[in-house]
Structure 1
Amino acid sequence: MRATRRSLIFPPAREVQLHDLVGSTSDAGHVSLLLKFAAFAVFFFPSNMIIKPIGAVGTIPIMLALLLLAFWLCSALFGLHNPFRTSHPGRLGLGLLWVGTCASYVALFSGFTGNTNVSAQAAADRWLILILASAGIALVATEAVRTLNDAMSLVRAILAGAFFCCLVALVQFLFRVNPMVWIQEAMPGFTDNGGNTAFQVRGFMTRVAGSTFHSIELAVVCSMLLPLSIWRGIYDRTGHKWLHWAGTGLLVVAIASTVSRSGVLGLVVGMLVFIPFLPRVARRWALVAAPTAMAALFVAIPGLVGTLTSSFTAGQSDPSLTTRTNNYPRVAEMFGELPFLGLGPGNYLPDNALHILDNQYLNSLVTLGLVGFIGMVAYLVLPFISSVLAARASRLPALRSLAGAVAAGGAVAAACSLTFDSMAFPVFALVYPFIVGLGGGTWTMVRREIELRESAVPHQETGGGPPRNGLPVKPSTLNEEAITWTR
């Protein structure tokens, strides 16, 4: 009865073997070098460095993402792959956001919103290109992640970039030096477009941003990737374990160095979602390691406890909180004027810092209207929900934990988008599609696992005859010992 219910959530795909889920020992994965390089490039190349004739979207990460989209479209047009074979809820969310964006974009350029000046059109173009770039990453990542080996290969590339970002943050925090300036100087032909804030002061501490635009962005992105780093530390059998766990520790240190409430929120939400899907031994270790790590951070970073405590207890005396709440009447008024399609994509351009909407959902409501708001909610929430369902359905420990890690990353993105306008930050905007893509790949793998499990049940019950579909194993053999990771 339980298998039947799950098969309704995850309809059967094609006939599969166990190595279709894990990947054989000779399989190095299907993840292309371009996709892995794009994952690393999001963190390595400064998003404020642009090719001036192209404009604000002329950054290396966005151009690589658009190249991925071009390859995906050409592959579909020439029949090299079936784009409808890998449907999943995350792609539905992306599609709904695309529909809302296009509707608002057309309304802006047709003059329906009454705001058709050059600046408004340029902002809409930038938003449209960002969504196209995000789609390129999410669509290619979904189809590239066919096995657990593929997922591990992509996760390594993402975390390599994240660890570089954390090392930059550590240097910034300890020495008040910004290494990203050196990379900017080594990029001839690119122009500094501004917008990044490497250092900020909160209380008695200096907040750092690593290679991201802002300390809040660094905190949220690290919180999103921390569960994937833990998953990698448990299941990656290549390389040195101490390096894997050192990278995980760097993520935690980076979150602390931002002195960000959003980072604390993301850390708590991510761990609450992820820990239940860890193997039993890992769950026990997590209960010991989490308080130990927090205590070590508080001891190692003087003033961290006091600064965080004062930021949480400041209440109405904290300007970062009051500016958020003071903007609610303005949001209601703007939404009432253009409720369905909004001002136009990317067209909330505040005239001063006090009017910045530190809430992606409110920003979408104003700029994309109700139609685009629904799309944004779907884009940020559906990957989290679908990955939780996948994790609950899987019986393969490594796959279950992967789905839980992806769900945790999605939950952090959805929750922290309430505390800052997430899609306005380039690193978050291009890292999150990798979470969507991993969620799509995980959804497909769990669907295959269920078909494999259900196909083997009749043979197990009858106790005789050849295995159905040539399956070499029974469901009871689907365990983590069957997994061999490859480089």
Structure 2
Amino acid sequence: MTVTPQAEPQSEPQAPPRAAFQAAPRRATRPHRADGATVAVVFVVILMIVPARLVFRGLSFAITPAEAVGLFAMVWWLCAHFTDTLGAAKGRTLVRTAVFVYAASLLATYAYATAGYLPRDELDLADHLAVTATSMIGVVLLVVDGVRGRDRLDLVLKSVAVMGAVLGVIGAVQFLVRFDPTAYMVLPGLRYTQQELFILERNGLSRVAATTGHPIEFAVVCAMILPIALHFAFRAREQGRPSLRWWVCAALIASGMVFSVSRSAFVGLAGAAAVLLVGWPRVRRLLAAGAMLLFLAAVKVAVPGVLGAIVNLFTTISTDSSLRWRTMDYATAATEIARHPWLGRGLGTWYAPKYLVFDNQYILTAVETGLIGLAAFVGLFAAGIWSALRARRLAAGPVDRDLGLTLAACLVVPLIGSATFDLRSYAVVTGLSFLLVGAAGALLREARPGEARPGEARHREARLRRRDGGAGPSTSPPTGHAR
């Protein structure tokens, strides 16, 4: 009589073959459902590709497509906090607190300015700036609460680096060929607010703006996003993955800085480099120095004279007429600040050609929103830098630590650029600055207690235990926690 064995196959199931584990990551590459990162990528693409002077037709005030996406982001964020199904993070963070303080200061300034008499033109501009400021606040909140997971944050930042390379290509065409492709990039339903060219002249050299509003803005944008391209290039190289595409992106972005022929680019990049060189290992510093020398040699051969013109911008700074114009309006600014020291005269109410141009965002902010608004503006970027460095301290892996350092370096650039031109008046650099502030806050949200250093983990666990009334550590985050 034959007995069929049955218990043995059931009691010891065979492990899946090794190939099954190797195939698992492929299933994880299925398209991700739309989330906050998706909206952020759409914002980046529209912000950097659609020429900055294009606005919607038929509206009572000028609004760009990117600002419309920012308003949608504000609505998305509000809806996301009425439900748990849209994937938004909950709980207080420093960036969110700084955003709320910034928004409250603008609201107080608007109320103070409109409580009295304002000329019709200034009132219209105050209303317009209130809408665009709401759009930028929506971008910060979308990124800090809606971009969940390191892979989604990487997606947003990679889109910034790639679009920066596209800007570099457009700038190179404008500079080398003297052909402006932005004249053929007008989408249906849009119109130009002004017909000025995106190619200017300075000391016999072309100054290009790509799709941004001005060569100085183009320069600061390139300086701000170059560390992001370098982060992905070094990261791919150190992980043994192809890195050529990211080096090409970094080279194109750097070429945009050169073709803008602007001091602001190199002053801002110097500030970012100071942050990066402090945190980079020695090998990376040497590689960065070698790459910079190779790039400068290529520029010297391909475009003779441009490096000399850039050097002259610094050597002749004492006789530069543009610098004298920047300092002539200090007395006027001091008078205006003394009239409305705390809340200012109203956001958007000081504009050219009706008033003098302040090529300094700090002075313009103090005049329009007062010392309270100035502190809120600086505090927003300071919160972003602190969050990035805090995430670097909490992160366990070298990739996250390097990203924290990179974002801190990026946010130093607009702080420096605000002293050289009226940064808030330009849409592209403003949108990217606010997006990177949100990215720093999103990175800090990803810093888990288990990934922190032992002392940091114990401190956070004790804090959670005290908040929960002495209960022991939980396996899941409590309701309302940032995760």
**Where on the TM-score scale, by shorter chain, does this alignment land: which range?**
0.7 to 0.9
- State the distance in 1 between where 2:325 and 2:253 align: 29
What is aligned with 2:219? 219
- C-alpha displacement at 1:268, in angstroms? 1.2
Question: Does the aligned pair in 2 maintain the 1:279–1:401 contact within 8 Å?
Answer: no
Which one-letter code corresponds to 2:309 in the other structure?
T
- C-alpha displacement at 1:297, in angstroms? 2.4
Query: SS of the counterpart of 2:211?
Result: coil
Deviations 1:358-393 (A, max 9, x none): 111110000001111111111233212332233244
- State the distance in 2 between where 1:389 and 1:455 align: 11
User: Taking structure 1 as reference, are residues 41 and 337 closer, same or farther at Cα in structure 2, changes over 3 Å only?
Assistant: same
- State the distance in 1 between where 2:240 and 2:155 align: 11
In the TM superposition, 1:438-457 aligns within 5 A as 438-448=439-449, 450-451=451-452
What is aligned with 1:425? 426
- State the distance in 2 between where 1:405 and 1:87 align: 24
Instruction: Show structure 1 runs of 5+ residues with no match.
Output: 1-22, 458-467, 472-487
Q: In the alignment, is residue 51 of structure 1 matched against residue 38 of structure 2? A: no
Question: Does the aligned pair in 2 maintain the 1:360–1:421 contact within 8 Å?
Answer: yes
User: Taking structure 1 as reference, are residues 83 and 338 closer, same or farther at Cα in structure 2, changes over 3 Å only?
Assistant: farther
Deviations 1:235-272 (A, max 9, x none): 35899532221111001000011111000111111122
Q: Percent identity?
A: 24
Which one-letter code corresponds to 2:183 in the other structure?
V
Question: Does the aligned pair in 2 maintain the 1:42–1:161 contact within 8 Å?
Answer: no
Q: In the alignment, is residue 74 of structure 1 matched against residue 79 of structure 2? A: yes
What is aligned with 2:11? none
Which one-letter code corresponds to 2:225 in the other structure?
L
Question: Does the aligned pair in 1 maintain the 2:395–2:452 contact within 8 Å?
Answer: no
- State the distance in 1 between where 2:270 and 2:450 align: 30
Instruction: Show structure 2 runs of 5+ residues with no match.
Output: 1-24, 459-472, 477-483
Question: Does the aligned pair in 1 maintain the 2:52–2:64 contact within 8 Å?
Answer: yes
What is aligned with 1:140? 142
Query: SS of the counterpart of 1:256?
Result: helix
- State the distance in 2 between where 1:147 and 1:448 align: 15
- State the distance in 2 between where 1:333 and 1:74 align: 44
What is aligned with 1:207? 207
Query: SS of the counterpart of 1:191?
Result: strand
- State the distance in 1 between where 2:184 and 2:241 align: 29
Deviations 1:67-117 (A, max 9, x none): 111111112123446977353322233222211111110112111xx4x12
Query: SS of the counterpart of 2:81?
Result: helix
In the TM superposition, 1:10-21 aligns within 5 A as none
What is aligned with 2:234? 234
User: Taking structure 1 as reference, are residues 93 and 456 closer, same or farther at Cα in structure 2, changes over 3 Å only?
Assistant: closer
Deviation larger for 448-457 or 26-35: 448-457
Q: Work out which of the two has the higher radius of gyration on C-alpha atoms and give 1 or 2.
A: 2
User: Taking structure 1 as reference, are residues 280 and 306 closer, same or farther at Cα in structure 2, changes over 3 Å only?
Assistant: closer
- State the distance in 2 between where 1:37 and 1:391 align: 27
Query: SS of the counterpart of 1:339?
Result: coil
What is aligned with 2:66? 61
What is aligned with 2:113? 108
What is aligned with 2:312? 310
In the TM superposition, 1:185-204 aligns within 5 A as 187-194=187-194, 197-204=197-204
Q: In the alignment, is residue 327 of structure 1 matched against residue 332 of structure 2? A: no
Deviations 1:218-248 (A, max 9, x none): 1101111111111122335899532221111
User: Taking structure 1 as reference, are residues 366 and 358 closer, same or farther at Cα in structure 2, changes over 3 Å only?
Assistant: same
- State the distance in 1 between where 2:254 and 2:296 align: 9
What is aligned with 1:381? 382
- State the distance in 2 between where 1:200 and 1:44 align: 20
- State the distance in 1 between where 2:333 and 2:457 align: 56
Query: SS of the counterpart of 1:349?
Result: coil
- State the distance in 1 between where 2:37 and 2:52 align: 23
Which one-letter code corresponds to 1:373 in the other structure?
L
User: Taking structure 1 as reference, are residues 280 and 146 closer, same or farther at Cα in structure 2, changes over 3 Å only?
Assistant: farther
What is aligned with 2:481? none
Which one-letter code corresponds to 1:372 in the other structure?
G
- State the distance in 1 between where 2:114 and 2:240 align: 52
Deviations 1:109-137 (A, max 9, x none): 111xx4x1221111111211122111111
Aligned residue pair count: 434
User: Taking structure 1 as reference, are residues 246 and 412 closer, same or farther at Cα in structure 2, changes over 3 Å only?
Assistant: same
Which one-letter code corresponds to 1:202 in the other structure?
R
What is aligned with 1:247? 249
User: Taking structure 1 as reference, are residues 452 and 194 closer, same or farther at Cα in structure 2, changes over 3 Å only?
Assistant: same
Query: SS of the counterpart of 1:201?
Result: strand
- State the distance in 2 between where 1:338 and 1:268 align: 35
In the TM superposition, 1:254-403 aligns within 5 A as 254-278=256-280, 281-351=283-353, 355-403=356-404
- State the distance in 1 between where 2:84 and 2:62 align: 30
Q: CA RMSD in A?
A: 2.8
Which one-letter code corresponds to 2:83 in the other structure?
F
Deviations 1:17-54 (A, max 9, x none): xxxxxx99826666543321111110111221222332
Query: SS of the counterpart of 2:446?
Result: helix
* TM-score relative to the length of structure 2: 0.83
